[in-house]
């Protein structure tokens, strides 16, 4: 049985093999890569990405990346294409075909059919001299010297290289389109990444209860307000303006300090100039402000008036953290 040291050495060797191969791809990015990218950028149709085996799995990921960064794309399995799915390709589409060898039987059948349709064909392959390489309008070179597999058989380094080439293509297109963080949020509205880019403080605080007391309110009312609104805090307001804050921590400190709390008012224990945030600010900004000040709540203002509370737990619930 392999020892831990042996396992660690094998893993490191595999990672090193792949990292060196990826670094080597830089020298293959040339004018042909730029021309292929411009062709996709100018498309009126979509990008159809195809492959077989492990390359088909990589094709699926490239499609997902293109779609999420503003380039419409569809996956088409090369084997299915020659058994009825060729209609996926429309006349204004371009096709990216991924194959390490460029000589698989499915590719040899599919490529002439694509060419017959006059669609631009872009190859991602490790073999420029293959059937695919010679047939394509553009070749994106994904050559690797060897697989991470010790038998040089299992697709490992080669599929990593294909993925990196596809990512490089997507990033070029993203920047050419001027694709912004707000655009990204449109395509990821339900995920934590999207929420970081579009969710605002008011979206969260407006559904919370709104604890507030006046400066002259007695301590019993303060305690009841904090307890009932369940946010661990209450704002102290005057003419709808924030003048202070009382947290459940302030209540505990008060009980430790005073033997008799009769006659105490909100103004006696409140903290003045509390941290606050505007209702229109991004939720991620609220998180950063909480982290910087090591606090769990922020009072929210809208048009200069007290508007509510945003709590750290709200941000956790929304997946911002």
Q: Which residues belong to the annotated binding site?
A: 77
Q: Which residues contact 293 (CB under 8 A, 6 or more apart)?
A: 275
Q: At 146, phi and psi to the nearest 5?
A: -160, 160
Beta bridge partners of 310: 298
**Which residues line the annotated binding site for Zn(2+)?**
77
Task: Judge whether 133 and 102 are in contact, CB under 8 Å.
Answer: yes
Tell how strand 138-141 and strand 120-125 pair up: parallel
Place of tokens 């509390």: 274
* Token pair in block for residue 167: 């990512």
Contacts of 194 (CB under 8 A, 6+ apart): 184, 185, 186, 187, 188
| Interatomic CA distance for residues 256 and 227, integer angstroms | 19
In a 10 Å sphere around its CB, with 0-12 CB exposed, 13-18 middle and 19+ buried, how is residue 205 labelled?
A: buried
Cα distances (angstroms) measured from residue 223 to each of 203, 211, 273, 285, 299: 27, 11, 21, 29, 18
């Amino acid at each position: 049985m392999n020892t831990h040291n042996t396992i660690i050495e094998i893993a490191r060797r595999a990672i090193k093999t792949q990292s060196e191969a990826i670094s080597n791809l830089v020298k293959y990015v040339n004018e042909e890569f730029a021309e292929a990218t411009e062709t996709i950028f100018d498309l009126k149709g979509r990008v159809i990405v195809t492959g077989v085996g492990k390359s088909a799995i990589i094709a699926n990921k490239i499609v997902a990346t293109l779609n999420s960064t503003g380039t419409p794309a569809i996956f088409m399995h090369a084997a299915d294409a020659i058994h009825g799915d060729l209609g996926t390709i429309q006349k204004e589409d371009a096709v990216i075909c991924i194959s390490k060898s460029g000589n698989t039987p499915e590719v040899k059948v599919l490529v002439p059919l694509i060419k017959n349709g006059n669609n631009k064909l872009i190859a991602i392959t490790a073999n420029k001299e293959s059937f695919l390489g010679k047939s394509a309008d553009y070749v994106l070179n994904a050559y690797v010297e060897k697989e991470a597999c010790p038998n040089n058989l299992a697709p490992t380094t080669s599929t990593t290289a294909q993925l990196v080439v596809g990512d490089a293509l997507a990033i070029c297109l993203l920047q050419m389109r001027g694709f912004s963080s707000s655009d990204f949020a449109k395509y990821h509205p339900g995920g934590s990444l999207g929420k970081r880019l579009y969710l605002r403080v008011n979206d969260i605080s407006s559904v919370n209860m709104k604890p507030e007391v006046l400066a002259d309110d007695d301590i019993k009312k303060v305690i009841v307000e904090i307890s009932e609104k369940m946010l661990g805090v209450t704002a102290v307001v005057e003419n709808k303006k924030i003048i202070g804050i009382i947290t459940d921590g302030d209540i505990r400190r008060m009980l430790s300090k005073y033997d008799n709390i009769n006659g105490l008012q909100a103004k006696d224990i409140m903290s003045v100039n509390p941290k606050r945030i505007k209702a229109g600010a991004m939720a991620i900004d609220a998180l950063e402000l909480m982290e910087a000040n090591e606090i769990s709540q922020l009072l929210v203002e809208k048009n200069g008036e007290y508007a509510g509370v945003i709590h750290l737990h709200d941000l956790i619930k929304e997946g911002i953290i």
